[in-house]
A and B are shown apart, each in its own frame.
Chain A
């Protein structure tokens, strides 16, 4: 049959694919620019664009315009120091202004004092690289300002551990002026009725909530409080238990609460007791719940036998869930998932 022969030729051609069919992005091509034996001077002149950093460090070479920081590594000892520290500079070229800033920095004048400052303020050495990767703009801030912002935290009776937690969890905290941080803390204390201790706990646990978009948090609050009718005490419980819930997109929050409350029939108290469940995607909750429902083990009431806690429902791996909660082999669970 004609079509059968055509199909046979299709399947035969599978086995004679050429070896290199696709551009393989190996790092070597990048390093050819760096290697002193092969300077990229033969490259055709790129169109003039002032937004791209210009390399002038190479003796005798014309300025080279580039889209990455790789060609500057051979010339810039400071950049190599950052790399040795473990800073991931690969994403910086996508952020406007960052490469220009970094290439103008000097290690002794700009970088070393601030890195030392961060370390003294409580950012552990293994978090320094991640900090700088996310926020290289810290090198632009004045040291006095940074000191004032840390002093503010001390004045607000944050413990040393809490300050360390704030700074290492949120690299952008120190970019905010003292007045702005103070306004934000006051706002959250008012919105959720937090006492000073609780506010400090919140800031230490999730400092990025304080520095994130306030309107977004207000929207999440509206969804939980007005649309789903949680009590003020429950809101506080959710906030202190899992502050990240207020940083979720409103759509996701509605979707998850809708499933947990309206379809699974969980009470507000139960959800507020384990707010962790709100950070899992609703399909994960749904899959686990339907499996338990089929086995008639979906019993989330603590006062009755066969209680399954929400944390065990979603916070476990599939193996743990099947072994401890559903008590079925993982293969059966996988088969069940294909019937959904």
Chain B
């Protein structure tokens, strides 16, 4: 019998052929140290109970699994349930990962934290975790994202973080990651890099997936409690893919549960107009791991577009590439206009203002509900 689909990555950080570690030698020792410390923390009941306690009392977990009754009626198909990560402290799932990594930072005896952010949610969540534990915090953010996500920049500063504007390249998430990596190249001995998604060199894709898996674990249990079985289909949006990895991972061995990842379709299928590497990209290397990526025939990373800053990224976590190529997860994309429509609908019908990122998943969840029909 073959290994279950959840039995990844291996000790070199490979999810099938994807993942690995493609970084300058300067970072190797810190990545080894992080992998070792995380392996210890994973086995340490005290670490786990500390994190659980923070989840319950600081984040406000578990987050509800909410039956969207009026949205279900509106679509006239299967029941739609929403996992409400927006009810977390700081308003998104990002806090699950930043608290876990802040605890790892303390275990490694480091006092300074750097992070990148796109939409600003990961920046706010990192700044929050750093404030909670008294860590110095520097957040790199593309100048374009600073412009379109001003309220989050304000929050980060209030929380004591320094926000550094990144003016290079497309001035978005990808460039913010480059700058954070460059900072880390010089500061690696005293600084931990809290990467915000399931991307980057090993062990980051593993660590972030594990910390985010609380989303799927709760959803699994709440499904059994609320409707006595597992969901027929689970839908999540995918940029780098941390929320989706956290949601899908606890379900990947349940072969009856269909999983659907939704990428940012931007305004057209033309290169440069979208941010959907799993739908349109190639196998390649970006930011330290081997995965699907939007690149040209020379291996240069392409500019991408999405209306949502959090999905505006040319790469994707290596485990998603593994799930795609093993056919465990289906991936599709949702264009800007559809996402905006879903945003309007959910806001008016359910009284919930979703993030633009999540709106991509909501648009496809509504389609799925219609397709599956009322008995599901």
Q: Do A and B bind each other?
A: no
Which B positions have Cβ atoms within 8 angstroms of A? Answer: none
